[in-house]
Amino acid sequence: MRKEMLTGNAAAAWGVRLAEVDYIPVYPITPQTEIIETLAKWISDGVMDSRYVTMDSEHSMLTAAGSASATGARAFTATSSQGLLYGFEMLYAVAGWRVPLVMVNVSRGLSSPITLEPDHNDVLAARDTGFLQIHCETCQEVLDSILMAYRLAEDERVLLPIIVNLDGFYLSFTREPVAVPDVEQVRNFLPLYQPKHAFFKASQPMAQSAAVLGGSSYSYFKYQMHMASQNALAVYKEVCDEFETGFGRNYDTIEGYMLDGAEYVLIMTNSFSTLGKAAVNNARERGIKAGLLRLRLVRPFPVADLKAAISRKKAVAVIDQNISIGKGGILHSEIASCLYNEKHRPLLLSFIAGLGGKNISPDEFEFIINKIVTGVDTEDAGTAQLIYTDKEWQEMGRLKRMAGKG
């Protein structure tokens, strides 16, 4: 084991290298490309023994990754944003093939307007596909999550593909010290993939991904996927424990930050959670009992862990770095549905922030936390708040005048 200063993308590439992946079909897209360039160089240099092919689109890339996985190889691929959506049809298809593909998504806001910096509309669009989802805050977590993802996906009780998500720019291009484990140590944790269910070989012909006629067969296979995803909650805990035993780092389905004794809780995901933790520190200094819950496992949704962590809090604010146009924050809705039938449940507030990489400043966090406190006092959660500062409003006015639309 050694420590290196790695970007989120480089950490992802290290995870793939250590997992000794057999097959990597790729297609470039910002901000993911550094991952596939890093892997290409290692393969060219002979330090990785994988087959690597640049496809003609993300749709083809996902198909090739899925079909290689269905043949019995350990496969990896990576994308972002528009690429994820371009390949979207195959997310559902590959999940239905019940193959343990691991894919990294480097989050980036969706067009239109076309942009580069992150929010989570891309990855959350994939929430219903059957892919499990692990969302990362740090570069170390990216590397570790890829190793955990293969263990989880390849488990006979799960057999579903997994997306490991990290934020574009804020994490993909940020260097942090990362412990890079030895490959022998990884092999102990993640043995060779030996498929028992899906493969292609001459001696055992197999029809995979056959059509079904009628809702009965269709429902059966969809229910199977849902139950496998539910199984993944328990399997995740086992994988988590074994990972901690092997590598000394623990990653539960959710991460609590100063949650003990907290009355007011922020819920966030991914790299902006770091900003939220700083805001919690500031609030504590002001005497407000704040805490933060970071949702790490988004699919399957860790309902029991969430309930246990927040149902007795005074108030919870979900900061969604995404927007379901016409409804509001996606995670807010999901968390609300977990809590609805609880006897004790907190006031639940909704904030939209950080879209397209928009910063969430300390002042904005202070505004959010004040809203939580007054919400409790007035027993009014209000409607979803679209966070935007006066300064941004004025600047946008200036841009509009330049555009002749003032």
Partner 1 sequence: MAGNGEIKEDGGKGVKDMVMERIKSIKDIPPEENMLPGTPACAGCGGLLALRHCMKALGRKIVIVNAAGCFTLLTIYPYTPFKNSWLYTAMACAPAGAQGIRDALDILIKKGRLDPEEDLKVVVLTGDGSAYDMSLSSTSGAINRNLDFYYICYDNESYGNTGVQWSGATPFASKTGTTPPGRICPIGSELAKKDLFAIWNSHKPPYLATISPAHPVDLINKFKKAEQYKGPKLFIALSPCPPGWGIDSSYTVKLAKLAVDTGVWALKEAVFGVVTHTVVPKRFKQVEEYLQVQGRFAHLFKPVRQEAALNKIQEEVNEYWNRHKLLL
Residue 47 binds to partner 1 (criterion: CB under 8 A): no
Cβ-based nearer residue to partner 1, 210 or 325: 210
Selected binder of partner 1 within 19, 61, 164, 381 (CB under 8 A):
61
Helix axes 273-285, 362-378, angle to 10 degrees: 60
Selected binder of partner 1 within 45, 46, 113, 192 (CB under 8 A):
192
Q: Are 147 and 186 in contact (CB under 8 A)?
A: yes
Residue 88 binds to partner 1 (criterion: CB under 8 A): no
Cβ-based nearer residue to partner 1, 93 or 259: 93
DSSP codes of every residue in 74-97: -BEEEE-HHHHHHTHHHHHHHHHT
Which distant-in-sequence residues (6+ apart) come within 8 Å of 375 by Cβ? 315, 347, 349, 381, 382
Residue 75 Cβ vs partner 1, minimum distance, rounded to whole Å: 7
Residue 51 binds to partner 1 (criterion: CB under 8 A): yes
Residue 234 binds to partner 1 (criterion: CB under 8 A): no
Peptide bond into 300 cis (omega under 30): yes
* Four-CA torsion 328, 389, 298, 108, nearest 10 degrees: 100
Number of residues that bind partner 1 (CB under 8 A): 43
Among the listed ranges 36-44, 46-54, 286-294, 347-355, the one in contact with partner 1 (CB under 8 A) is 46-54
Cβ-based nearer residue to partner 1, 86 or 301: 86
Backbone angles phi, psi at 228, to 5 degrees: -65, -40
Q: For residue 6, what is the DSSP state?
A: E
Cβ-based nearer residue to partner 1, 91 or 290: 91
Interface with partner 1 in residues 91-120 (CB under 8 A): 93
Rounded Cα distance between 12 and 36, Å, is 10
Rounded Cα distance between 224 and 41, Å, is 40
Selected binder of partner 1 within 174, 209, 333, 359 (CB under 8 A):
209
Residue 399 binds to partner 1 (criterion: CB under 8 A): no
> Looking at this protein, which amino acid is placed at residue 390?
D
Q: Which residues pair with 23 in a beta bridge?
A: 51, 75
What residue ranges bind partner 1 (CB under 8 A)?
Answer: 22-23, 25, 49-51, 53, 55-57, 59-61, 63-73, 75, 89-90, 93, 192, 200-203, 205-213, 217
